[in-house]
Structure 1
Amino acid sequence: MAGWPLLVLLALAALAPGGCYETRYEKFLRQHLDHPGPAGPPGGRYCSTLLQRRRVNGPGRPCKPVNTFVHAPAAELLALCAPRHGPALRTTAAALDVTACRVTGGSVYHPCAYRAARRHQRVEVACEDGRPVHLSRTL
């Protein structure tokens, strides 16, 4: 019966806010996918708001210096990682709409201020088990 209390503790931890496990693919989607993207040209407020809403930045955490959002359907990036075997890094054949967010001057901790640049570039991702898990770079 020693295992019963441990099972109850694990169940409670899983139900607690923030206690849920996030896969690398889910983290990738949270941090780098925003489809269809901003309606107009993105400004620094777009980056600051989205990075805070997506829990990339927040109170007590340092500002992420650079983050890129890809404005394409998740299925397009999933297709890039199929088949499961092959090179770990894959690059889109066509350019996609992306927004590059760079932290401005003195922003180190929340509230973070960003400069946004909309671009049309190819995207390179690292794949794991047939899913994108890391945005390597844009070309």
Structure 2
Amino acid sequence: MRVPMGSWALFTALVLAVLAGAVGESRYGKFLRQHVDHPRTPVLAAHRYCETMLARRRVTAPGRPCKPSNTFVHTPAEDLVAACSQTPDAEGVHSTPTPMSLTACRLRGRNTQPPCTYRALQLQHHVRVACLDGLPVHLAGTHAPPQ
């Protein structure tokens, strides 16, 4: 039995579309990839944590400008999901009720072209997240606990 060429093209296009949807990253998945590192990943050179993790997690990539800053939270994802049940502030952002261990990565210097080098700060801060359908999808910032 011979199948018309147009049918194969349509079939191939449909399969590719389904596969693209299956491997597509959700906003929550992207949030986890870019911001959650629990437990904190040990790296051979501790002072290279940010460069290593940003490359490993595909936050920075060759040929793309360096991201000015990125924060990795070293707590289970469930704790950040729980923040979405907290009352949002006036901007619609939710804060974690307790401070969390995190690494704040800040680009060194003003050059945004690779190679990217970062300064890492270890902090205990509250984490602010924007949520969608009860899941964190954007890390909106952090703030120190009141003294």
Corresponding residue SS for 1:122 = strand
Deviations for 1:31-90, whole angstroms, at most 9, x for unmatched residues? 0000111459x844100010011001011110000100100001111122248xx63411
Match in the other structure for 2:31: 28
**Which consecutive unaligned segments of at least 5 residues does structure 2 have?**
none
* Distance change in 2, residues 1:61/1:99 (3 Å): same
**Which consecutive unaligned segments of at least 5 residues does structure 1 have?**
none
- Match for 1:118 among 113, 119, 122? 122
Q: For the residues of structure 2 that align with 1:100 and 1:50, how far apart are their CA atoms?
A: 12
* Distance change in 2, residues 1:57/1:39 (3 Å): closer
Name the count of aligned residue pairs: 134
* Distance change in 2, residues 1:130/1:108 (3 Å): same
* Distance change in 2, residues 1:28/1:4 (3 Å): same
Match in the other structure for 2:83: 80
Match in the other structure for 2:55: 52
Letter in 1 for 2:98: A
- Following superposition of structure 1 onto structure 2, how do residues 100-119 of structure 1 map, counting pairs within 5 Å? 100-119=104-123
Q: Alignment identity in percent?
A: 51
Match in the other structure for 2:69: 66
CA RMSD of aligned residues (A): 2.7
Q: For the residues of structure 1 that align with 2:96 and 2:65, how far apart are their CA atoms?
A: 31
Q: For the residues of structure 1 that align with 2:31 and 2:17, how far apart are their CA atoms?
A: 23
Q: Is the 8 A contact 1:57 1:63 kept in 2?
A: yes
TM-score, normalisation: structure 2: 0.79
Q: For the residues of structure 2 that align with 1:28 and 1:71, how far apart are their CA atoms?
A: 13
TM-score, normalisation: structure 1: 0.83
Match in the other structure for 1:92: 96
